[in-house]
Structure 1
Amino acid sequence: MTEYVPVRGYQELQNFLKAYENKQGPIYLYFYGEKDSKGKSWCPDCVDAEETIMTAFRNHARRAIVLVIDVGNRDAWMDCSDKNGFRKPPLSLSSIPSLLHWKGVERLEGDQLLKSSLLELFFEETSLKSGPPSSARNINK
């Protein structure tokens, strides 16, 4: 079963990543712009991609932890200084929405998250790396 964990801001993200450090299974980081009281993000790209991303999570992210990360309001996100931890390594985000496989190299950003085929490939790649040893995988799915 997939566990969705809401996270607000960079410091809270750091706390959760420490808490989940030894968890088994994939951990996905989904970054989006802060939502208003009606549940709509200030980021139009985040609004456009949300349904596609959430469908992909339901269909492909089984037995995973999904940290759903609010990067803040527009001013906070646009701050490119060292104060914005999201833009520094190891995350090095350049756009939102973004989806990362924690401790992996897989990453989708911006309009890539509008493409179901890319999301399917993303989850396929990450599940292979997070799954059983290669000798135990069923390659004839």
Structure 2
Amino acid sequence: MTEFVPVRGFQELQNMLDVHKNRTSPIYLYFFGEKDSKGKSWCPDCVEAEEGIMTAFRQYTKDALVVVVDVGNRDAWKDRSDANKFRKPPFSVNSIPSVLLWKGQQRLEGDQLLKSGLLKLFFEETANPKT
């Protein structure tokens, strides 16, 4: 069964990945903009893509860990300095929403996540990652 784990910020993400470093089933990282008290992200692209992304996770993953990563508020995300560690390796996230396979090269970003066919193909290709 796929497990969804929310994390907020870079350090929480690092801690979560350390806990699961020996996991053999896929680990997906889903990056999105912080949500307000009503559950709506400041990022319009994230809002538009969220339902399709979550549906794809439920439909195409069986035994995976999905780390749902809150990258912070708009100002924190737009910060291009070294303070925004999500933009640097090993994550190298340049746009949100983004979904990537941890320890893999595969990723979908931005409007790619609006295409159900791409989501299906992404999960078919990443279902059995190499360890």
The answer, yes or no, to whether TM exceeds 0.5 is yes
Partner residue, 1:69: 69
Partner residue, 2:112: 112
Is residue 18 from structure 1 mapped to residue 18 from structure 2 by the alignment? yes
Instruction: Describe the superposition over 1:41-88 as per-residue Cα deviations: whole angstroms up to 9, x where unpaired.
Output: 000000000000011001001100000000000000000111111000
**Aligned partners of 1:65 and 1:127: how far apart in 2?**
11
Partner residue, 1:31: 31
Higher alpha-carbon Rg:
1
Report sequence identity in percent. Answer: 71
* Aligned amino acid, residue 55 of structure 2: T
TM-score under structure 1 length normalisation: 0.90
SS of the residue corresponding to residue 82 of structure 2 reads coil
Gaps (5+ residues) in structure 1? Answer: 131-141
Equivalences, count:
131
Gaps (5+ residues) in structure 2? Answer: none
**Aligned partners of 2:129 and 2:63: how far apart in 1?**
14
**Aligned partners of 2:113 and 2:25: how far apart in 1?**
22
**Aligned partners of 1:93 and 1:64: how far apart in 2?**
21
**Aligned partners of 2:111 and 2:62: how far apart in 1?**
24
**Aligned partners of 1:91 and 1:129: how far apart in 2?**
17
Q: CA deviation at 1:40?
A: 0.1
Q: Alignment RMSD, CA only? A: 1.2
